Amino acid sequence: MLDNHFDPKVAEPRIYNEWERSDAFKPREGDAETFSIVIPPPNVTGVLHMGHALNNTLQDVLCRFERMRGKRVLWQPGTDHAGIATQMVVERQLADAGGNEDRRSLGRDAFVDRVWRWKEESGGAIINQLKRLGASCDWSRERFTLGDRNDPDNQMAAAVRKAFIDLYKDGLIYRDKRLVNWDPQFQTAISDLEVENREIDGHFWHFKYPIAGGETYTYVERDEDGNVLFEEERDYISIATTRPETMLGDGAVAVHPSDERYAPIVGKMVRLPLADRLIPIITDEYPDPDFGSGAVKITGAHDFNDYAVAKRNDLPMYPLMDERARMIQSPDKDGNPVMPEKYVGMDRFDARKAVVQDIGAQGLMIEVEDKKIQQPFGDRSGVVIEPMLTDQWYVDAETLAQPAIKAVETGDVKFVPDNWSKTYFEWMRNIEPWCISRQLWWGHRIPAWYGPDGKFFVAETKGHAIDQAKEHYGEHVELTQDEDVLDTWFSSGLWPFSTMGWPDETAELKDFYPTSTLVTGFDIIFFWVARMMMQGIHFMGEPPFKEVYVHALVRDEKGAKMSKSKGNVIDPLKLVDEYGADALRFTLAAMAAQGRDIKLAESRVAGYRNFGTKLWNAARFCQMNECTLWEPDAFDPLNVDLTVNRWIVSETAKTADTVVRELEAYRFNDAAGAIYRFTWNVFCDWYLELIKPVLNGEDGAAKDETRKTAAWALNQILHVLHPFMPFVTEELWGELSEFGPERQNMLVVDAWPEFDAAARAPDAEAEIDWVIRLVTEIRSVRSDINVPAGAKVPMTLVGGDDEAKARLERYSDLIERLARLESCSIASEIPAGAVQAVLDDATIALTLTNVIDFEAERARLEKEIAKLNDDITKIDKKLSNEQFVSKAPEHVVAEQHERRTDAVGARSKLSDALTTLASIGE
């Protein structure tokens, strides 16, 4: 006998271990159709957050679904070595130890060995957390982007080396001096994804740059009609900056070609304050005449926009800072220093204070404007990121992007929802060179070696590089390997095929590449999806996946983005502890509507735990009533006779077909909603109630058929629900088995139910639907006008066709029991003192004389309606207040809209009830 309840804390780990022991997650043998997904590899330092929970739940739903449909499913798992994050963890450990050891005192080899030890002992905790969620990956194939250091062949490392070398030989990897995001804490270039732009309180410093030789000009501001608003003689041009320290490396001042205010001085020179250098005034399309003074200082080595201006205009670029963002001296083309020695060695922020003070002392400060500014911070280090001009390795992303763009244009790769293809195109058609080098020690070291003159040799091994160098120099020379490692995205961009054995031609590549689909968040379309597309097409000749499903964000219940600073982060593991993995999984799937962020409330998870409890209790009812035993070979659901059984078979087939259709279209919420409604409403609430008279009756044949049909329907529910709630369904599948050794499969690998048109019974659907709608309408009327739950009242059916009257006669006993009626009858006129409701072309009349006080009930309804009207008026007043709508947090405004919608709905329901009361005596 089933226990009184399902205990996920006990059952889930036991069931998961059984799945793993049975190799249920490995691709089945044979030549069946394949289905494959590669997991977005989580950082080896990571812990499961709600984004992971959503992403992996949706992947698992697809994999379990396709596995049950008989496909050979490979869900390829693994983790990313996460260069900066992992190196940071170990460096912090060294610092916390309190000794004198740090990365540099240990040396590269010893430090990397320390990181490997950390990874083997503590890294990868997220893998076990994914297992707690129920992820059915083939863990025997788990991969790590750095490979296995104990494997002399280290296939993953070999794949990265080959990719780098082949791209270099094809002219698609090169070394160049360009501007990058520089993290002074970790002393490395970082990607845009690792930069967090925050709005902070800052300043705009307005300075005077004097015109060389003391020349003056007439500065004039005009309105749109050309009328003079302001006019004065000036011997300077005004600039504004949020980073005064960078002015020491200015190469020019730029104004827009259309800006007539500065036309008299374009081409003249200005004297750069403090540095005492002459720089030109140039024109460029970049400056905005309506922003600030319209004049922009151009510091090409320390600003991305300025860098572009400097490149277009062939301006000198002077690096001002070292890798720790301390000021350094740069020479001009003649070898002269570009700034006063007093600033050399200063931290950039100390230099900022000194520059501001010194400019003020020279009388060149115009004003200091308090202003909100966007400041870039390293997402790991938390320090301000500095644009820096450095030598780095780059991939020619523009060339690689062309076939990747075409693949989406032609439909070879499809984005779901389709609007994300526009985002993809926008990025890919404007793609910049991809900086792939990082100044770290943890990662794939760049396979390039330098000779004594800086000439580099790209090769598979140092031995091969030595051979190249000997050919180049004509003699043996000492070579030094490049200190940098590759950007993490370079190795993860190879993930769909490196994990399957590339560069070798493996059976896995033949069977499972390209993968079927990719499930990912929108935030890494550029950084991961684009990289995989470019590298997959280049190395494999075809895109790495056929479809890309892009899911939305999980927000808090008010719609706010989760963040530690707000204190609204929801820990998925705590929800799993409290409610079980099934409840969290179903919540996420049921709310995963395409293009709509999920507003997650713990109450929703609790509600879906109740759904699991509902199913469990229904299974116990079936077990107690001997409705769990059916022989597939001896029972054909298409040959049942009772209308109620034909109806449940038809509804089962309809639901299974709906779930298939919606999952194939990635409408997870609609698929989950379909099986939820069928399980809770159709099977539990109605079918089990409708068959109670049969189960308690004397008709042995009817009872036998009903028991087998109920067992069959419950079995189909377990199958269709399994991808969403795998643990409770697997437990029931095993516990309800009465076949002994004949049932050899676990549910996870059992066959998905398939139905043809013969399973549908429109006549049975129509008949039982009529009974359900009748009972529902009676219950609704009773509830709306406060008929006491225990009161039994007479019901009269007036009008309607012959079929309706026949149905009432056939099911009168059942209707009386389910609707708490004293009697059911058919009449040609509505009885006096009856409340009326409409069902199709018939009228339902409930005689309530002596059951309720009509006048008191009317008064109650009118009072409730008046209160709701008052609430709606107050909400409307708030929402019509522009100040409230513009200043209140987004979730507060949304909450007011939701409250209004709820109030309007409640008012409509009460108004209908009042109308129903008014029908008495009409």
d(CA 665, CA 552): 16
- Mean pLDDT across 847-869: 83
Task: Tell me the residue length of the chain.
Answer: 922
pLDDT per position as a tens digit, 654-683: 999 999 999 999 999 999 999 999 999 999
Q: Which residues contact 141 (CB under 8 A, 6 or more apart)?
A: 74, 76, 77, 499
pLDDT at 620 over 90: yes
- When computed from its CA atoms, the radius of gyration of the chain, rounded to whole angstroms, is 36
- Residues 803/771, Cβ–Cβ less than 8 Å: no
- 592, 668 Cβ separation under 8 angstroms: yes
* pLDDT level of residue 741 (50, 70, 90 thresholds): very low
Q: What does DSSP assign to residue 211? A: B
887 Cβ partners below 8 Å, 6+ apart?
none
> Contact, 255 vs 266, CB < 8 A?
yes
Maximum Cα interatomic distance, the chain, rounded to a whole number of Å = 115
Distance of CA 765 to the CA centre of its chain: 39
Rounded average pLDDT over 281-302: 94
Q: How far is CA 316 from CA 267, 311, 373, 725, in A?
A: 16, 9, 27, 63
Least confident of 101-105, 747-751, 776-780: 101-105
Q: Is the pLDDT of residue 739 over 60?
A: no
3-state secondary structure 250-311: CCEEEECCCCHHHHHHCCCEEEECCCCEEEEEEECCCCCCCCCCCEEEECCCCCHHHHHHHH
Give the residue among 112, 134, 37, 118 at the shortest CA–CA distance from 78. 37
Residue with tokens 């991808």: 723
pLDDT of 833: 76
Average pLDDT of the chain?
Answer: 93
pLDDT tens, position by position, 769-828: 999 999 999 998 888 888 888 889 999 999 989 999 999 999 999 999 999 999 999 998
In sequence order, the β-bridge partners of residue 368 are: 205
CA–CA distance, 797 with 812 (Å, rounded to integer): 11
Q: Is 675 helix (H, G, I), strand (E, B) or coil?
A: helix
H/E stretch holding 728 reads helix 726-735
Contact 233/216 with Cβ under 8 angstroms?
A: yes
Chain centroid to Cα 120, Å, comes to 29
Q: 746-776 b/e with 16+ CB inside 10 Å = b?
A: ebbbbebbebeeebbbeebbebbebbbebbe
Characterize the bridge pairing of strands 228-234 and 217-222: antiparallel
- Reported as a single tens digit per residue, the pLDDT across 50-64 is 999 999 999 999 999
Amino acid identity, position 920: I
**At 743, is the pLDDT very low, low, confident or very high (cuts 50, 70, 90)?**
low
Count helices and strands (H / E) in the chain: 31, 31
pLDDT-based confidence at residue 241 (cuts at 50, 70, 90): very high
Mapping DSSP to helix (H, G, I), strand (E, B) and coil, where does residue 737 land? coil
d(CA 858, CA 861): 5
Backbone angles phi, psi at 156, to 5 degrees: -65, -40
Condensed to tens digits (0 to 9), the pLDDT of residues 575-593 reads: 999 999 999 999 999 999 9
CB-based contact 531:572 (threshold 8 Å): no
**Residue 315 CB neighbour total at 10 angstroms:** 22
| pLDDT surpasses 80 at 631 | no
CB 529 within 8 A of CB 520: yes
Sheet holding 414-416, edge to edge: 414-416, 545-551, 515-521
Q: Percentage of the chain surpassing pLDDT 90? A: 77
Distances (CA, A) of 315 to 207, 251, 331, 756: 21, 6, 14, 73
Contact 122/57 with Cβ under 8 angstroms?
no
Cα separation, 838 vs 848, whole angstroms: 17
Contact by Cβ (8 Å): 434, 144: no
Task: State the distance between the two ends of the chain, measured CA to CA, in whole angstroms.
Answer: 56
Cα 87 from chain centre: 26
pLDDT single digits (tens) 473-491: 999 999 999 999 999 999 9
Are 147 and 154 within 8 A, CB to CB? yes
Q: Which pLDDT does position 754 carry in this prediction?
A: 92
Strand partners, 837: 844
Q: What is the pTM of this model?
A: 0.88
Report pLDDT digits (tens) over 397-417: 999 999 999 999 999 999 999
Confidence of residue 526 (pLDDT cuts 50, 70, 90): confident
* pLDDT for 919: 67
Which residues on adjacent β-strands are paired with residue 485?
A: 438, 445
The pLDDT of residue 115 is above 70: yes
> How high is the pLDDT of residue 12?
97
- Sequential DSSP letters for 108-133: HHHHHHHHHHHHHHTTTHHHHHHHHH
Question: What's the pLDDT tens digit per position in 827-839?
Answer: 988 888 788 888 9
Structure-block tokens of residue 325: 């963002």
**Statement: residue 740 has pLDDT above 60:** no
pLDDT reading at 149 higher than 80: yes
Give the pLDDT band (50/70/90) at residue 197: very high
DSSP 3-state of 191: coil
Structure tokens at 568: 């609204």
- pLDDT at residue 738, rounded to an integer: 64
Amino acid letter, 771 = V
